[in-house]
Amino acid sequence: MTQGAGQEPVVRTATLRDFRVPPYAQTPVPPQAQGVPPSSVPPHTTDPHPPAPGAPVPPTAASAPPHTAAPPRPPHPGNAVVGDEQPEGYTPTERDLPVIRRGDTVQVQTVAEPRSDEGRGPLFVVGDVHGYLDELLAALGEQGLIDAEGNWAAGNARLWFLGDFTDRGPDGIGVIDLVMRLSAEAAAAGGYCKALMGNHELLLIGAKRFADTPVNSGAGTATFQAAWLLNGGQKADMDRLQDVHLQWMSRLDAVVEEDGHLLMHSDTTAYLDYGSSIEDVNDTITAILTRNDADECWDLFRKLTKRFAFRDEGGSQAVRELLATYGGQRVVHGHSPIPYLLGEVGTEEGDDSSGPVVNGPHVYADGLAIAMDGGVTMAGKLLVVQLPLHD
pLDDT at 62: 42
What is the rounded CA–CA span in Å between residue 126 and residue 182?
13
Task: Quote the percentage of the chain above a pLDDT of 70.
Answer: 66
Name the band, by pLDDT with cuts 50, 70 and 90, for residue 71.
Answer: low
Give mean pLDDT, residues 134-139: 98
**If you average pLDDT over every residue of the chain, what do you get?**
78
Residue 324 contacts by C-beta under 8 Å, 6 or more apart in sequence? none
| Residue 196 DSSP class | B
Long-range contacts, 206-213 (Cβ 8 Å, 24+): 206/294, 206/297, 206/298, 206/301, 207/233, 207/238, 208/238, 208/241, 208/246, 209/246, 209/292, 209/294, 209/297, 210/294, 210/297, 213/294
Residue 24 in contact with residue 251, Cβ under 8 Å? Answer: no
Q: Please classify residue 68 by burial: count the beta carbons closer than 10 Å to its beta carbon, then call 0-12 exposed, 13-18 middle and 19+ buried.
A: exposed
Across 303-318, average pLDDT? 96
pTM of the complete model: 0.72
| Tens of pLDDT, residues 225-235 | 999 999 999 99
121/387 Cα distance (integer angstroms): 11
DSSP class per residue in 276-316? SSHHHHHHHHHHHHHHT-HHHHHHHHHHTT-B-TTTSTTHH
Q: By three-state DSSP, how is residue 165 classified?
A: coil
The tens digit of pLDDT for each residue in 195-246 reads: 999 999 999 999 999 999 999 887 778 999 999 999 999 999 999 999 999 9
Question: Nearest CA to 113 among 1, 191, 195, 35?
Answer: 191
**Average of per-residue pLDDT across 79-87:** 41
Interval 134-160 mean pLDDT? 98
Question: Cα separation of 151 and 189, whole Å?
Answer: 11
At 186, which amino acid appears?
A: A
Neighbouring residues of 257: CB distance < 8 A, sequence distance ≥ 6: 263, 278, 326, 327, 328
353-386 pLDDT per residue, tens: 455 688 899 999 999 999 999 999 988 899 999 9
C-alpha to C-alpha distance for 204 and 301, rounded to whole angstroms: 10
- Helices (H), ranges, 241-380: 243-250, 278-291, 294-303, 315-326, 338-341
- What tens digit of pLDDT does each residue of 97-115 get? 433 333 333 333 333 344 4
CB 294 within 8 A of CB 210: yes
Determine how many CB atoms are found less than 10 A away from the CB of residue 26.
8
**CB-based contacts of 269: which residues, under 8 Å, 6+ apart?**
76, 78, 79, 309, 318, 321, 322
